[in-house]
Structure 1
Amino acid sequence: MLSHIQAKLLIVDDLPENLLALQALVKGSDREVYQAQSADQALSLLLEHEFALAILDVQMPGMNGFELAELMRGTEKTKNIPIVFVSAAGREMNYAFKGYESGAVDFLHKPLDNQAVKSKVAVFVDLFRQRKALDQQLQALEHSREEQEQLLTQLQVTRRELEHAVRMRDDFMSIVSHEVRTPLNGLILETQLRKLHLAQDNADAFTLDKMRAMVERDERQINSLIRLIEDMLDVSRIRTGKLSIRPSKFDLTQLVAGLVENFVAQAAAAGSLIEFKAEAPLMGVWDEFRIEQVVANLLTNALRYGASHPVRVRAFELQGLACIEVRDQGIGISAQNQQRIFQQFERVVSSPGNGGLGLGLYISEQIVLAHGGSIDVESVEGQGATFTVRLPL
């Protein structure tokens, strides 16, 4: 593990011959030796490289070794570099004591003991390499810890997403089973009733008027089933990016007016009416079938939650956009629910009188977004809601 770590040594002496002699002593395959003939050169190298050891001559012109050592100890980058002083002065000069005061780890007197120098340098090189190896291990451990934390966070997010998906699946199955059962129960009851009449040879139960009423009831139940299936298919298309948009040029005002007329009977059954206002034709290029689907969803919801009050519909142009506004005076939508209702399987209330899969607004928003438009809601709880669709012309 240590073999790839190179140690750098700095030797400082004002005499070139001393530098050559010292380099010959300390060089090795596991180290690089840098030379400096003055304190200024040494400082430049110290700021550029990370050294395992600095060997400083005490007597140098200008800044001496002790002053250089004090500068090193006062600098963040160099304060932990081990310093060994070398001096030709006699032991009686007491330089060694001053050297240790300056932060040296050793003091060598000339002439140098070659074996002692090699041994001491080898010790500091080994210590440096062991410290670097330990730093690398700590960095690897820290990196591994961070990766594990990220993985744990991702796993927690995935777990929450899976739990949410399971809840959505359960909610979906519960809603579907209820919504599908309602029209099916109607068809089953109608079938059983007709079988009973047939078993009793009751021809009066099959007069033309009664047959027309039967067909109308059957048609309503079948259309309910078809609508549920189409909604589920649209969700599947949206998820797979296969929601088809087939644009053509048509008058949006005319489309909305036709839908309002088609909803007259449904509005009457809900004890309401639909008021439509348009200023002028709105010609644009959209998918007529899909836009009709959006407006029909908004009208259905307005009648469903409108508390039998009139529903007001407007078609108009604003800032280069074709706008459709559907306003009801019903139960309203809380601020908390205004974002939630555009999600899958979400409804303002869940009660027998207000059914559906909770997919209408989700599908509507996806259709509008596919046209480059937007849909939003303004509402105060208990004071109705206004949905506005904006489509680029």
Structure 2
Amino acid sequence: MSAPPSADVARILIVDDLPENLLALQALLSEDRVRVHTAQSGQEALSLLLEHEFALALLDVQMPGMSGFELAELIRGSSRTRHLPIVFVSAADRDQGYTFRGYENGAVDFLYKPLDAHAVRSKVRVFTELHAQSRELQRQLVELEAARAEQQRLVDALQQTQAELQRALKMRDEFMSMVSHELRTPLGVMSLEAIMRQQRLDRGDVAWFTPERLQAMVDKDTRQVRSMTRLIEDLLDIARLQHGRLSIRPQPTNLGDLAQRVVADFESQFQQGDRPVLLTLKAQPDIVGEWDDSRVAQVLVNLLSNALRYGEGKPVEVEAGLAEDGLARLAVRDQGMGIPAADQDRIFQQFERLPTAGRSPGMGLGLYISQQFVKAHGGRITVCSQPGQGACFEVLLPLTPR
């Protein structure tokens, strides 16, 4: 009886046109871890060769239809079987020309009838062991290649981690530099103002502090405090986002009223300087949704700050209403420098600013924070812009939480 097929079984193909020869060889070679397949013709043998991987083929030379030599030529002509060891079995005399033809057709050995059982088993065992060693070597090569691929993956991951670490260190250094600059600017202005006022008081020049000058001082101090407060709030929001502790407290909110309140608060900032900036609001009435009004208001504040910063002093429009898909819509449109298409995704990342924004204050946090606030409400924020044609930032919010 032949052994059951398994991954460790060596398969042997015996081809002979006489059934009694097949039975004799099968009985002789069947043992554990060996599976014997038999064929009575070359065509039947070729079918088996397409189905299985064999360790050895024993071919009878003299068969009707297709001889063993002809079958060997076909075996050697296929890329699938060209390396299969072939042993010819022959009842002919040991003629050198006959033997040479066998080796020429790919034989590794000859067996002559009557067969010596011990010799047959010994030779077959050699080839089955070689086949087992070959398969083990292939398995080890596969494992080695898998180990090499895993090692390469780990190296790539390490290099990526290294690059991310270097980028994080660079961002940290840039972040600390920006924080220092952003805090130093308002503090410097307030420090100089305080020194100047103290000098006036030391000289007893109280009359210099007219109501108009006092009001201007209060307005300037308020702007500097607001700037520092906004910076600190941004840093706190970043920390909350990174630790997953951002809180959203939805409540019924009128979008038009919220936009009107924020625009009114910003009116004074748009009127500062030699060239006041025109700020207009178009709001549909009675757009009410379940939102955290302070977070949505901060989104609008960030968009208006950017419009004032990059709008080049040209009019800014704010719209509040409903979009065609039933979502609430906030839009801020400026007529400034515009944003290249390649930068429109990048500006929503942390600490990212436009290459042309170096002359403007800011840390590159406003749009990132705004996007996170909008996402927390189940909405989305997009920008439509072309260089030199301004930019329109659009916020879409569901009326109820998702």
- Is the TM value for this pair above 0.5? yes
Using the alignment, how far apart are the partners of 1:210 and 1:279 within structure 2? 40
Matched, 1:386 2:392: yes
1:74 CA displacement = 3.3
Which residue in the other structure is 1:283 paired with?
288
Alignment of 1:246-257 (within 5 A): 246-257=249-260
Aligned to 1:235: 238
Partners of 1:87 and 1:109 within 8 A in 2: yes
- Deviations, residues 308-356 of structure 1 (Å, cap 9, x unaligned): 222122223222222222121222223333222212112234445x212
Whole-Å Cα distance in 2 between the matches of residues 256 and 207 of structure 1? Answer: 36
Corresponding position of 1:127 = 130
Show the counterpart of 1:152.
155
Stretch of structure 1 that moved more, 80-89 or 341-350: 341-350
Contact 2:18 2:40 (C-alpha < 8 Å) held by counterparts: no
Matched, 1:339 2:345: yes
The correspondence of residues 140-289 of structure 1 with structure 2, limited to 5 A, is 140-193=143-196, 214-270=217-273, 271-289=276-294
Distance in 1 between residues matched to 2:304 and 2:137, nearest whole Å: 70
Distance 1:38 1:24 in 2: 16
Q: 2:329 aligns with which of 323, 331, 342?
A: 323
Amino acid of the structure 2 residue aligned with 1:259? V
In the alignment, structure 1 residue 372 sits paired with structure 2 residue 375:
no
TM-score of the superposed pair, with normalisation by structure 1 = 0.87
Whole-angstrom distance in 1 between the partners of 2:322 and 2:90: 93
* Offset of residue 237 of structure 1: 1.8
Q: CA deviation at 1:362?
A: 1.0
Q: Which residue of 1 aligns with 2:314?
A: 309
Aligned to 2:366: 360
Q: CA deviation at 1:17?
A: 4.1
Name the residue aligned to 2:3.
none
Partners of 1:15 and 1:37 within 8 A in 2: no
Instruction: Tell whether the 8 Å contact from 2:348 to 2:368 is kept in structure 1 after alignment.
Output: yes
1:46 deviates by: 2.4
What's the offset of the Cα at 1:76?
3.1
SS in 1 for 2:348: coil
SS of residue paired to 1:332: coil
2:340 is aligned with what amino acid?
S
1:43 shift after superposition: 3.4
| Residue of structure 1 equivalent to 2:91 | 88
Structure 1: 5+ residue runs without aligned partners?
none
Per-residue Cα deviation, 1:84-138 (whole angstroms, up to 9, x for no partner): 1112233469653443343222222111234433333233233323322332232
Residue 296 (1) aligns with residue 301 (2) = yes
Measured in 2, the distance between the counterparts of 1:93 and 1:223 equals: 106
Amino acid at match of 2:317: R
1:32 to 25, 34, 52: 34
State the one-letter code of the partner of 1:263: F
Whole-angstrom CA distance in 2 between matches of 1:336 and 1:104: 67
CA distance in 1, matches of 2:331, 2:93: 101
Tell whether 2:71 aligns with 1:68.
yes
In structure 2, what is the Cα distance between the partners aligned to 1:81 and 1:298?
A: 75
Gaps of 5+ in 2: 1-6
Q: Deviations over 1:178-219 (max 9, x none)?
A: 001122223433444565566666665778776655544443
Quote how far apart the aligned CAs of 1:174 are. Answer: 0.8
After superposition, what is the alpha-carbon deviation per residue over 1:245-300, rounded to whole angstroms, capped at 9, x for unaligned? 22222221221122212211111015212111234432222221111111111111
2:40 counterpart letter in structure 1: S
- Please tell me whether the aligned partners of residues 11 and 33 of structure 1 are also in contact (alpha carbons under 8 angstroms): no
Q: Is the 8 A contact 1:13 1:56 kept in 2?
A: yes
Give the structure-2-normalised TM-score: 0.85
Q: Secondary structure at the match of 2:299?
A: helix
Match of 1:77 among 73, 80, 88: 80
Q: Which moved more, 1:11-20 or 1:53-62?
A: 11-20
* C-alpha distance in structure 2 between counterparts of 1:312 and 1:241, whole Å: 34
Does structure 2 conserve the Cα–Cα contact (< 8 Å) formed by 1:73 and 1:80?
yes
CA distance in 2, matches of 1:217, 1:340: 33
Question: How many pairs align?
Answer: 388
Q: How far apart are the structure 2 equivalents of 1:94 and 1:86? A: 16
Q: Is this contact kept in 1: 2:19–2:40, CA < 8 A?
A: no
What amino acid is the match of 1:343? Answer: Q
3-state SS of the aligned residue for 2:107? coil
2:15 aligned with 1:9 = no
Query: Per-residue deviation at 1:229?
Result: 1.0
Distance verdict in 2 for CA 1:250–1:33, change over 3 Å: closer
User: Are residue 52 (structure 1) and residue 55 (structure 2) matched?
Assistant: yes
Moved more, 284-293 or 72-81: 72-81
AA of the residue aligned to 1:276: L
